[in-house]
């Protein structure tokens, strides 16, 4: 099946607390932003409007996306604190990624953390329309994120596109956004652990066409 470029996560993998719902300490780091200006679909050209992948995707629960045993292998003190919306990642991902998550179908938001600390990881998964996906990939390509697609191939986890931003003096969070067919996986957080790749593996297992 022909692959198409798509990426959204979290996350997976990386974070800033809004203080709304998690029993962790607050952090004060700037949001991760995409800096590119992406043109809208030209007027009069609606050939890509509403275009979606033909796959009928299986979307897992958070505990299915990354099994508790896998989460514990990253850090034995981690606990799940899943919420049903993106309120906890509003300051952690750029506006174009957040807009893509808002426009996606079947979106899930998953969060894990260590109580009374700012150790946390967020992963979001959604299904995107082709136009939204293409615009987001363009934005990430021209942003502070680096293309990490080859790293997934080296792990024998071929994925259409992966963008990553590491920790630095400017921000303390890890962020990874990946696309596979219509699937966007966004991961962000302060914790080490292959949250994003674990999510990709699950989506490929549940959806063999990816």
Average pLDDT over residues 128-154: 94
What are the start-end ranges of the H helices in 75-129?
95-103
Largest CA distance in the chain: 54
Which is higher by pLDDT, 167 or 97? Answer: 97
Looking at residue 141, its pLDDT comes to: 96
CB 134 within 8 A of CB 34: no
pLDDT-based confidence at residue 89 (cuts at 50, 70, 90): confident
Q: At the topology level of CATH, where does 10-25+58-206 sit?
A: Protein Transport Mog1p; Chain A (3.40.1000)
Looking at residue 68, its pLDDT comes to: 96
pTM: 0.75
Q: What is the pLDDT of residues 171-189, one digit of tens each?
A: 678 999 999 999 999 999 9
- Cα–Cα dist 74/89, whole Å: 21
Q: To the nearest whole number, what is the mean pLDDT of the chain?
A: 79
What are the start-end ranges of the H helices in the chain?
62-65, 68-74, 95-103, 130-141, 149-154, 195-206
Task: Check pLDDT > 70 for residue 54.
Answer: no
Q: What is the pLDDT of residues 189-199, one digit of tens each?
A: 998 889 999 99
């Amino acid at each position: 099946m022909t692959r198409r470029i798509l990426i959204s996560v979290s996350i997976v993998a990386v974070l800033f607390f809004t203080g709304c719902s998690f029993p962790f300490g607050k952090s004060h780091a700037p949001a991760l932003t995409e800096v590119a200006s992406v043109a809208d679909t030209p007027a009069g050209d609606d050939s890509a409007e509403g275009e979606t992948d033909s796959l009928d995707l299986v979307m897992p629960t958070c505990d299915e996306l990354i099994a508790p045993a896998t989460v514990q292998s990253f850090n034995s003190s981690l606990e799940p604190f899943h919420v049903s919306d993106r309120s906890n990642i509003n300051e952690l991902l750029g506006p174009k990624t957040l807009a893509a998550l808002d426009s996606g179908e079947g979106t899930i938001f998953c969060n894990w953390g260590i109580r009374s600390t700012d150790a946390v990881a967020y992963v979001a998964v959604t299904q995107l329309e082709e136009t939204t996906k293409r615009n987001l990939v363009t934005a990430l390509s021209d942003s502070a994120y680096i293309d990490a697609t080859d790293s997934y191939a080296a792990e024998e986890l071929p994925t259409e596109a992966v963008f990553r931003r590491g920790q630095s003096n400017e921000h303390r969070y890890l962020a990874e956004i990946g696309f596979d067919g219509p699937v966007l996986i966004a991961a962000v957080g302060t914790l080490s652990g292959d949250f994003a790749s674990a999510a990709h593996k699950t989506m490929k297992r549940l959806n063999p066409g990816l």
